[in-house]
Structure 1
Amino acid sequence: MRKIIHIDMDCFFAAVEMRDNPTLRHIPLAIGGSRQSRGVISTCNYPARAFGVRSAMPTGQALKLCPHLTLLNGNMEKYKTASRQIRSIFQRYTEHIEPLSLDEAYLDVSDCSLHHGSATRIAEDIRRSIYTETGLTASAGVAPNKFLAKIASDENKPDGLFVITPDQVDGFVKTLPLKRLPGVGSKTAERLSQLGLHYCADIANAPLPLLVKHFGSLADSLLKRSQGIDERPVFKNEQRKSLGVERTLEQDLLHYTECVEAISQLLPQLQRRLEHYSTTAAGRAAPIHKVGVKLKFSDFRQTTVEKQGQPLQLDKLLPLLDEAWQRRQQQGVRLIGLHIGFKTEHLQQLTLPF
């Protein structure tokens, strides 16, 4: 058994702004699009969440829920600086760090001797150090694997700690709603519910042929996670899996030729980002594995079309755009994006005793 900690900063971007400007602490605050333009909420503080505002919500919808919401464009360089401070704190405890984003990461502390090897006390010390040195709060989950650690970090948010010891795993997962499992989105959760499957205990007792029939390759993951099994190691390499650019449009695009023009403008931006990443990756940039086009329609449906083995060229992107455009169902296009996926190599890590 391993000792895994998942650290998740509390409303990170908004928290940095509140730290730097205390007058923002007790008012609804969001980082996202301005009142005069369309966009989405990147993150929001807890006073805003009390009104129903959430990350990834369209800014217009957020303003309807909370008309007095304070909106900031955000400062990515400032957030990156704070993230680097937090990363340096992690490195005092372990080399096995897997960043998921600027504000969350997995740490494998199985071989950490600090605090007599207690993962719980290590997590407490990490949270204390983060607050003392950055003025920001973090929530943490401690468990024998990544999947449970991530779920645990959400149990006592904000500024909380939740521990699942090896002997508590079976009892914890039995009552865990299936909708909280990784890979179970709203549509999958709805299908599970229609089959009378609501909790992990239900999956454990479900016939395998039934799961395979309805969920295909996801059936194996559902079975393992519902038993608290997750064998994935914490990857200490920091190879990016993808890189992308996107734009929320001032007005919906109603014609295919307008989308072609938008793609033509986005492509140089993505090429510059790729060049910058390749330069700063110090020779570790992986080759491009796939390219993709993303469209979000007027009704907020979105679709992505990807193809492997394609160079990042306009003539190779247009067939993907055309396929995505055919899915619009007479809706306009409110957002358009491009992305590339990299080939990544996963490092194996020994399993150490708990």
Structure 2
Amino acid sequence: MEMQRTVLMADGQSFYASIEKAAHPEYRDKPVAVGDPARRSGIILAACPIAKSRGVTSAERVGEALAKCPDLVVIRPRMQTYISVSLLITEIFESITDQVEPFSIDEQFLDVTGSLALFGSAEEIARLIQTRVKLSTGVWSRVGIGPNKILAKMATDNFAKKRPTGIFELTHDNIEEELWSLPVHQMFMVAGRMTSHFARMGLHTIGDIARLDLGEFKKRMRFRMGRQSDIQAEYYWQTANGIDPSPVVTGMRSQIKVINHGRALKWQAYRTIEDIEPLMLELIVEVCRRARRYGYMGRVVAVGAAETDGHRSSGFGRQRTLPRPTHLEHEIGPVIRSLFLEHWKGLPLTHLHITLTDLSRDDMYQLDLFEDRERLIHREKTVDALKERFGPTAIIRASSLLKTAQAFERAAQIGGHWA
């Protein structure tokens, strides 16, 4: 008989904020958030528990957070530090098991099935993780335990985060009692839009899905979302029932399905198309550069934007299919510009986002009778190689010297935040 797996999901509480509080002991009893203190229109990336108790939330504007909590200490993010701490935590986990799968910068799966004989029960391993990570980094870990990744993840998100011990085990023995009564939006991978679909089907709790016969659930999904929804239905039904055969995969995952790049903006600076175009071109260049780095071309491009004049607000997201897959700026740029001008209402921008999807490998591509595509691709990859070696500003377009461009500022950052 095959041994049942024991999987942990370890999550760092208020990860960025916890690292900053560990680095600044003088702020131990103060509300702390991570964001750009010089930009009240910027967003809060993380808030410590004290700040959260004062109403501060992640993703809200810095100005809004300070209005709720005037004594909030806002610290500029240091992304390289957070990445280094995340890698250190991975090393701590790898001292317990060689099966560690990073899920995000602050979440990691561990398969500890083979470690139980060395370190004790799953709960004892969870406490060991909490102690080692706290002593090494100052970050408090919440740990969910389950027989697979789905249950471990839902144990962390729905229970461990709310327990004083920071540990909770979700198994097939207690799933009905503990999980099925929760609202359906608390099920893994169910967001607002899917919650609305389920509500219209009369499915309000996780148990409402789990108790249905799979065939009946597929029938409801087809009626609501079309015949192509069968695979989706099976995924949600299995999730509700705690079924997940996927292994813990060491290292980072996986098949890339989308390549995108976006910026939150100071809306006062991006009022006209002349203001916006330099930044738009930089985003297009970066998306194409990433696509070439990963070895992909895309056939569907999309642009998204949010705009406001301080009184009226609007937003849009539109996509267009290209004649052929590409990762070349001169093929993507005019389409993005046309889409943007077609749907932009002319208000100052607060956000701009470029996306490339419907990806395929770039080792096979269509040639052109009227253009030497191979030469153009080779040229762009040569420029990419120079940027990799000498930095992203080693070669830039002249438009990046304009006032509203951000290439030089972003070159000193990691993931859009200061290193």
- Looking at structure 1, the residues matched to 317 and 70 of structure 2 have their Cα atoms a distance apart, in angstroms, of 30
Q: Does the residue aligned with 1:38 lie in a helix, a strand or coil?
A: coil
Give the structure 2 partner of residue 214 of structure 1: 224
Counterparts of 1:117 and 1:318 in 2: how far apart (Å)? Answer: 60
Instruction: Indicate which of 155, 161, 184 corresponds to 1:178.
Output: 184
Task: Give 2:240's aligned residue.
Answer: 226
Cα deviations by residue, 1:164-193 (Å, 9 ceiling, x for unpaired): 134223433321321012232123223323
Counterpart-to-counterpart distance in 2, 1:49 and 1:337: 29
TM-score when normalising by structure 2: 0.70
Q: Deviations over 1:18-52 (max 9, x none)?
A: 01111222222111132544221111111111132
Change (3 A) 1:71 1:10: same
CA distance in 1, matches of 2:27, 2:194: 38
Q: Which residue of 2 aligns with 1:124?
A: 127
Could you say which structure has the greater relative contact order, defined with CA pairs below 8 angstroms and 6 or more residues apart?
Answer: 1
Over the aligned positions, Cα root-mean-square deviation in angstroms equals: 3.1
Q: Which moved more, 1:286-295 or 1:105-114?
A: 286-295
Q: Distance in 2 between matches of 1:325 and 1:226?
A: 43
User: In 2, are the aligned partners of 1:292 and 1:306 still within 8 Å (CA)?
Assistant: yes
SS of alignment partner, residue 229 of structure 1: coil
Partner-residue secondary structure (3-state), 2:263? strand
Aligned partner of 2:206 in structure 1 is 200
Q: Distance in 1 between matches of 2:318 and 2:47?
A: 26
For residue 156 of structure 1, what is the amino acid of its counterpart? Answer: A
**Cα distance between partner residues in 2 of 1:169 and 1:289:** 43
Q: 8 Å contact 1:9–1:103 — kept in the other structure? A: yes
Do 1:293 and 1:306's aligned partners in 2 also have CA atoms closer than 8 Å? no
Provide the residue aligned with 2:295 in structure 1: 287
Which stretch has the larger CA shift, 297-306 or 112-121?
297-306
Contact 1:305–1:324 (CA under 8 A) maintained in structure 2: no
In 2 relative to 1, CA 237–83 (structure 1 residues): closer, same or farther, beyond 3 Å?
closer
Mapped to 2, the partners of 1:257 and 1:168 lie a distance apart of 60
1:336 and 2:352 aligned: yes
Question: What are the residue-to-residue correspondences of 1:1-354 with 2, within 5 Å?
Answer: 1-115=4-118, 118-154=121-157, 155-157=159-161, 160-206=166-212, 207-208=216-217, 209-216=219-226, 217=229, 218-239=232-253, 241=256, 244-251=260-267, 253-256=270-273, 258-268=275-285, 286-290=294-298, 293-298=303-308, 299=313, 301=315, 303=317, 305=319, 309-320=325-336, 322-323=338-339, 326-328=342-344, 332-338=348-354
AA matched with 2:45 = S
**Structure 2 unaligned spans of 5+:** 362-419
Alignment-derived partner of residue 376 in structure 2: none
Amino acid aligned to 2:48: N
Aligned residue in 1 for 2:367: none
User: For residues 84 and 51 of structure 1, do their structure 2 counterparts lie closer, same or farther at Cα, with a shift above 3 Å needed?
Assistant: same
Secondary structure (helix, strand or coil) at the match of 2:11 reads: strand
Which structure has the larger Rg? 2
C-alpha contact 2:281 2:333 (8 A) present in aligned 1: no
Distance 1:141 1:178 in 2: 19
Q: How many residues align?
A: 335
SS state of the match for residue 326, structure 2? coil
What TM-score do you get using the length of structure 1 for normalisation?
0.81
- The DSSP-based 3-state class of the residue aligned with 1:111 is helix
Measured in 2, the distance between the counterparts of 1:268 and 1:86 equals 34
Q: Deviations over 1:179-234 (max 9, x none)?
A: 01223212322332344321122123453222222245332222121212223222
Q: Identity of aligned pairs, percent?
A: 25
